[in-house]
């Protein structure tokens, strides 16, 4: 028994009414945003690697490693 149709999610009718230049601009803005987010994430990861050196984020340094394994 189907009494009506449900519309799931936002309507995308307006997306096709825009001119190609506007669609291209929004696509390029999304791509730039994604690039910036990835770049920031990579920089943060590199900074964290430099902070702990060869010990890494888990062991951190010799003292922390010894404290973790001292039971």
**What percentage of the chain has pLDDT greater than the value 70?**
75
Q: Distance between CA 55 and CA 51 in Å, rounded?
A: 10
pLDDT given for residue 33 in this prediction:
92
pLDDT given for residue 52 in this prediction:
74
Q: Is pLDDT of 5 > 80? A: no
pLDDT given for residue 25 in this prediction:
86
CA dihedral 10, 16, 20, 26 (to 10 degrees): 0
Q: What is the pTM of this model?
A: 0.41
Domain boundaries, the chain: 28-69
| Average pLDDT rounded to a whole number, residues 7-25 | 69
Q: Which residues have a Cβ under 8 Å from the Cβ of 55 and sit 6 or more positions away?
A: 61, 62, 64, 65
């Amino acid at each position: 028994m189907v009494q009506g149709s449900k519309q799931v999610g936002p309507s995308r009718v307006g997306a096709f009414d825009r001119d190609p230049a506007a669609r291209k601009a929004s696509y390029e803005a999304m791509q730039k945003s994604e690039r910036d987010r990835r770049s920031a994430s990579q920089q943060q990861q590199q900074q964290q690697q430099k902070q702990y050196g060869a010990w890494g984020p888990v062991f951190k340094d010799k003292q922390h490693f010894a404290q973790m394994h001292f039971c």
